[in-house]
Structures are given as structure tokens and as C-alpha cells.
A = this chain, B = another copy of it.
Amino acid sequence: MSHGAKKHDTVDGLTSGEAFAAAERNAVYRAIATRRDVRGEFLPDPICEEALSRMLTAAHQAPSVGLSQPWDFILIRDKETRARIARIFADANAEAAIRFPADRQAQYRSLKLQGILSAPLNICVTSDPKRGGPVVLGATHMTDTDLFSTVCAIQNLWLAARAEGIGVGWVSILHEDRVKAVLDIPDRLRLVGYLCVGHVSGFHERPELEKRGWRERDDLALHLHQERWTAPKPASE
């Protein structure tokens, strides 16, 4: 790492600030609009190493607070390891079900919420709050900035995967400490995302929770405020 104080150097090398051509712009919007949280459509087909490499490179190009790059990616293919994670999910999911109102528990249990074993690859994404040293530029006042950087990396990977025709499902119904023990993850790291990754039979046209009547998407307008926060809160609440 260079500590040289180059404060007076000329910062050149700006590339054009023009918009993408319409076809390119539309491709970006297509990836964003058709990305899905995949649970049930994974195929066992192996993932092409070049595609996986492009996806991970995309993740690593995410913004990070103070250029701290707090993320790490654990690639898990071993079946026994995935089976251990699947058992952690099963325990957590059983606990989760009984927390819902009685009239929703059967519906909750009917939802498929992970593809840990059906996807050929799992990727555990961690965040290290100390990665940038004792003081990180941009992390001096607001908390959790390293987590935010790591989530940006995950979203990059997710969109890249969509362009590659590869599905990603983010599993959050897990006991973090048990997953960390299985994967030898040091205490200081946060488990941010546990991702199931693989080719798919297809992508749902709409988010599955919407399709299955669990919850609806709001109109964007309910989430927009002009100049300052304004009540009422979105109607879906």
C-alpha cells in the first residue's frame, strides 16, 4: 500500500461521462429487472469457470468504504459441508415458522426458501470490519459501512450471474455462529450472505413471494419523498 502523500498530483484519465447507447443501457436494466432470488429452479449442471470468474471479478469491483474491500468469498462445493449448512437452515426455519401468526404458518412452511443442496455451488460472503486498518476513510462516523460495501459486492455478483444465465438465492434463515463454525470463519468477520448459485430451469417472471401471495410489491411512488421525509408510510406496512 502506498502511503506517499501525492496530494498535488494531477488526476487525469477521465473517461467519457456520456450515457450508454440505448441497447447497452437496456441490457443493464434487463439484468436488474429480471434478477430473481432463486430457490427451486436450480439445475445440477456445472458452472463454467470463466463465467464464475467474471461474476467474482464483478463482485470485487464493488464500491467499498475507503477502498477497504472488506469482502471474502468462500466457494463451497463439497456435499457434506452443504448438508451441514442445510441442517442449520432446517433448524432455523422450523424456529422461524412458529413466529408467524397462526394463519400464516402453513403458508410459510409451504414456501421453498433455499437451494443449498440442489445448487452445485454455494458462496458464503463475509465482511471484515478491520480490513482497512484501525481507521478507515469513510467509516469514522456511520456504522456498518463495511457491511454496506460487502452487500454492494453481492448485488454486483447477483446481476452478473443473471447476465450469465445463472441463478442466485440468498439464504438468511441461518444461525450465523453455527455456519461460521462449519466454515472456520474467524470471530471478527460477519457472515453477510450465504448464496446458492447454479444454472436454472428458468427465472420467475415476478418475485416468488409476490406470485405465491405472501406479500405484494408496492408502487414506487409510496417510497419517494420530496425534500424531506413525509408521512404517511407506504401502504404495504
Contact = CB atoms under 8 A, between A and B. Distances in A.
A237 interface: yes
A156 B28 CA distance: 10
Nearest to A99: B135
A230 B41 CA distance: 31
A148 B145 contact: no
Interface string A122-162: 00001010111101011111101101100110111011101
Contacts of A225: 72-75
Chain copies in complex: 2
A21 B214 CA distance: 34
A147 B193 CA distance: 12
A108 to B, nearest CB: 7
Given A7-B106, A29-B58, A69 B223 contact: yes
Interface in A14-33: 14-20, 23-25, 27-33
Contacts of A220: 56-57, 60
Contacts of A131: 233-234, 236-237
A173 B163 CA distance: 34
Contacts of A138: 113, 172-173
Interface of A: 1-9, 11, 13-20, 23-25, 27-35, 37, 40-41, 43, 51, 54, 56-58, 60-63, 65-69, 71-78, 81, 92, 95-96, 99-101, 103-104, 106-108, 110-111, 113, 126, 128, 130-133, 135, 137-142, 144-145, 147-148, 151-152, 154-156, 158-160, 162-167, 170, 172-176, 182-186, 189, 191-193, 199-218, 220, 223-230, 233-234, 236-237
What are the 10 A-B residue pairs with the smallest beta carbon separation, nearest first?
Answer: A14-B202, A19-B165, A7-B110, A24-B27, A27-B27, A151-B151, A96-B140, A155-B155, A17-B200, A28-B163
29 contacts: A5-B106, A6-B212, A7-B107, A8-B110, A11-B208, A11-B212, A13-B205, A13-B206, A17-B41, A17-B165, A17-B200, A20-B27, A28-B28, A28-B159, A28-B160, A56-B224, A60-B223, A67-B210, A72-B225, A72-B229, A76-B228, A96-B140, A100-B135, A113-B137, A131-B233, A131-B237, A148-B151, A148-B172, A151-B151
